[in-house]
Every structure is written in C-alpha cells, then in structure tokens.
Amino acid sequence: MKPRDKLFKDPVHGYISVPEEWCVDWIDTPIFQRLRNIEQTSMRPLYPAAHHDRFIHSLGTYHLGKQLLAHIESNTEDDDIREFLNNDSLRNTFLIACLMHDCGHAPFSHTFEGFYNFTNAKTSQGAYELLAEEFPGQDFKVEGSFDPAPHEALSAVVLKRFYSAQLRKYQCDPELSARMITGCTYPNESNFEIAVHNCLIELLNGNAIDADKLDYILRDTWASGVKNTAIDIDRLVSGVMFQRDVNGKIRLCYRKSALSVLQSVVDARNYLYEWVYNHHTVLYYSQLLDRSLRKLAQHLGKDSDPDFFWKAAFSLEPFNGLVDLGQGLFLRLPTDGDMLHLLKRFSNDIPLPELDELLSHCPSRVALWKTSAEFRMIFKGNSAADSSCCKNIANRLPGLIAEELGCQEDDVIVITALEKHYSIEEGHVQVRTDQGVKPFTEVMGEGSRRNPVNFFYVYVLETYKERKQDIIHLIRNTRR
C-alpha cells in the first residue's frame, strides 16, 4: 500500500506535501509544534500582518528542499553522482535536516538567540560547547574560521539528542544532518562522497542561495507586504543540478536559463536587510525586548549563579522537561508567550519601563536618523562611519550623550547594525554554460561590490530631539 501524504495549505508555496508517517515522527511532536509560537522575525512592530512563525517556515524549507533535490536527481547528468544520490538514507538525512533546521530556535527568534551563549557569562560559548559535546572530535566551522549561528548549533544538538530513535528509523546520518543545519562543510573535498555531501550542505545552508534563504525571502516579503523584487522560484528550482567543473570538482550549479532569477534572489535579500530587518523601528523594539529580558535574568539570578536564568531558560533543559525557575514558576519548551508572561509576572517587582513601551506600542524615544544611508551622509569621512571603529564608538555613546544632555544613561539607546549588502562572490554560485561550469561572477561580470559595514542608530527621549545637531557634533568628535 502506497504511503499516504498529509497536505499543509501554505499561502507562499500552495500545498506542502509531507508523508503521514513523517508527520507522526517529526511534526506532531512537542518540540516541533513549539515552533508555532515562535515568530519568524521581529518585524511585526513595523508590519503588523507579519504574524508568520518558525513552524510554517520549517515546512516551507522542507518543501523547497524536496523540490530542489528532485530536480537535482533528474537534471544531473553524471552517472556516478546520480547513483550516489539514489539513496534513501542520504535523501532522508537531507530532507529531515531541512524540516528540523530550526527546531532549537530561541523565543523571539534572532532577538533572543544570542542568549543561548549565556550573554552575561565570562565565556559566551554555551551553544557551541553543547555542539562540541554532542559531536566529539568534529570541527564545526564555516569555511574554517566562523562558528555557526547559536540557533543552528542548538537545533543540531536538539535533533540528535531528542530524535535519535527517529534518526535511526530513517537511517539518517546525525553528523551529516548537523552539518547541513549549521552549514559546516567537510574539509576534504577530494573525496567523492564528501564532495557530494558538501553540495547537499550548501543546498540547505550555503553562502548565497539555499532552501532556507529562499523560503524566508519569499515568506518575509509576502508577510510584510513590501514591494520587493519578484523571484521566479519555479524557474530557479527547475534549473538546479550537480556537475563537475573543469577541474573535476563537484559543484552545485544552475542552468544559464536561471541567471536572471539568481540575481533577483540577491536583490530581494538585500532589500529585506536594508529596508526591513535593519529598519530603525524593528531594531528599537527588539532592543526593548532584549533590555527587558536582561533585567528579568538579573532579578532571577542567584547569588551562587548570576547566570541561572540563562542556563535554565536558554539551554537543553526546557526541551527535556520542566525547569524550576523558583518562586513557583516552571518552564517547558519556551516560546514567545512564555517570555512575555515572565516579564509581565515580575513587572511589579522590578522596573521594566521597556515592557510598558512594548505592550502599549508607544515608544518613548525617537531615532535621530532613520536609515543607514542617512547615517553615512551625516558621518561621511568621520571615524564613526569607519566600520572598524563604529562598534567601539557606539559602545561609549550612551554615557557620553547622557552627560551632554544631562539625562540618565538608560534614556539613551544606541543600536549597532550591520548593513548586509550581499553580492555574489566568486565560487559561491556556479552556472552551467555551453563552455562548462563557470562562476556566476565570470558569466555576469564582477559588478560593484559593497562589503558589509557597521552603522548605528541613536535614540533619545522626545524632549531631546531638538538637540540632534549637538549630539551629532559630539559623535563626530568622539575618537575610537
């Protein structure tokens, strides 16, 4: 009897089909269902309809991963690669990694994921230490130097720790699935199997275009309602394949018919980072949440362990069962709502003015400039606009500005952001042409490239906004 599928109706991709058995073993579990209550982004203060969550994003990433893999299997012409891909264990490992890639995400997604590393501790490597413990002897680095994101590390650990029976049932490779989730490729690409595995890792979590990025670009654009660059996702997906380049290296590449779509993905991603994710309102409300939770963590800390709250709430413990926070409070599978409940619960015990702003949506501070472009114009040629000095100067500004204005340091908020203007770099995207596999940059030309640069916003109380020029003058005269 043919296995039955379950259909999920999705406004972005249409119907998403998942084997009914996979729903039982993966989706219909408390850890995965928890993702229904974790918002995908922090953009709702700016775009109130953007109430999408990590649950549907995970299904969308699985859907795109399944489509990409199916087209790779049909488009790839190399018999050895096709035969290697015709393997249920490898296919299951990839698709389950797509489905479960966010299973360990923190409440409020990226706003709180840094707390997995016990932000107040002397060594802020909690998530990475767990990953190292779960996979001893494995070097989880991206391109040899960068660690994966904290939520990626936790998701890899959660998958192996709490779904070991399911991984065995579907003959999945736990280490490979962890590398797919974290984007950490194997170092020895001269080995045929490793080369194919690395292409699959890149297909889920790569440098430029992958199933995860494609879904969040499409989904965040849809949910926010912004008029972003359109992406012909069907044309892109149908042109993907694995092929050897002139040196015999196995590459994830696209047909030349997808060239226009490849560029549109980059443009759409840049639009979201510049005008949505880094919007001054989005970052401000995220900062209010961050400040509020830090105050709560300090309140719930113990004399013997100031980091008690971080270790209790942002660790593997609440994934495994109830965690006793003291004062009659317990936490299990923490979500956005749980964090808000805790903040409300203690709002009479500790001063949380930021929470009042969040709940009323009435900001007490205003941004002195509202875009990265305005920041660059104001501080052009100044050390504040120098990306290497920017963070150092920003860290000192709250105290300096408060002294200048004669207000409390807490009245001033300075938020450092990263202007992620991405350009496809050589080696990140490959195109199959009549002359063989070529880098996208060679086919299309290098073009202009802007490196990611730091900038910052300054927020002051409404009563001080007429002092904008005084504050700008102070910043210009602040040295690194």
Distances (CA, A) of 470 to 323, 391, 392, 400, 406: 49, 21, 20, 12, 13
* Cα(454)–Cα(450) distance, integer angstroms: 12
Task: Give the tokens for residue 171.
Answer: 């003959």
pLDDT in the model for residue 428: 86
**Sheet containing 430-433: which strands, arranged edge to edge?**
240-244, 250-255, 430-433, 436-439
pTM to 2 decimal places: 0.95
Cβ atoms 52, 40 nearer than 8 A: yes
- Pairwise CA distance, residues 332 & 319, whole Å: 6
**Buried b / exposed e along 101-117 (16+ C-beta atoms within 10 A):** bbbbbbbbbbbbbbbbb
Residues written for the chain: 480
CA distances from 71 to 67, 88, 257, 416 (A): 6, 16, 14, 41
DSSP per-residue codes, 389-413: HHHHHHHHHHHHHHHHHTS-GGG-E
Residue 288 CA: distances (Å) to CA of 3, 82, 380: 48, 51, 29
* Bridging pattern class, strands 430-433 and 323-326: unpaired
- Pick the closest to residue 203 from 194, 213, 217, 193 (CA basis): 213
Q: How far apart, in Å, are the Cα atoms of 157 and each of 60, 161, 480?
A: 22, 6, 39
**Is-contact 75 240, C-beta < 8 A?**
yes
Nearest to 206 by CA among 157, 137, 259, 252: 252
Q: What letter would DSSP give residue 205?
A: S
Whole-number pLDDT of residue 122: 46
Single-letter code of the amino acid located at 463: T
Largest CA distance in the chain: 76
Cβ count within 10 A of residue 77? 11
Give me the amino acid identity at 124: S
Q: Can you give the pLDDT at residue 1?
A: 63
Q: What is the pLDDT along the chain (480 residues), one digit of tens a residue?
A: 667 999 999 999 999 999 999 999 999 999 999 999 999 999 999 999 999 999 999 999 999 999 999 999 999 999 999 999 999 999 999 999 999 999 999 999 999 998 998 755 444 567 888 898 999 988 776 554 447 899 999 999 999 999 999 999 999 999 999 999 999 999 877 899 999 999 999 999 998 899 999 999 999 999 999 999 999 999 999 999 999 998 899 999 999 999 989 999 999 999 999 999 999 999 999 999 999 999 999 999 988 888 899 999 999 999 999 999 999 999 999 999 999 999 999 999 999 999 999 999 999 999 999 999 999 999 999 999 998 899 999 999 999 999 999 999 999 999 999 887 777 887 789 999 988 899 888 888 755 455 678 999 999 999 999 999 999 999 999 986
| pLDDT the model gives residue 427 | 79
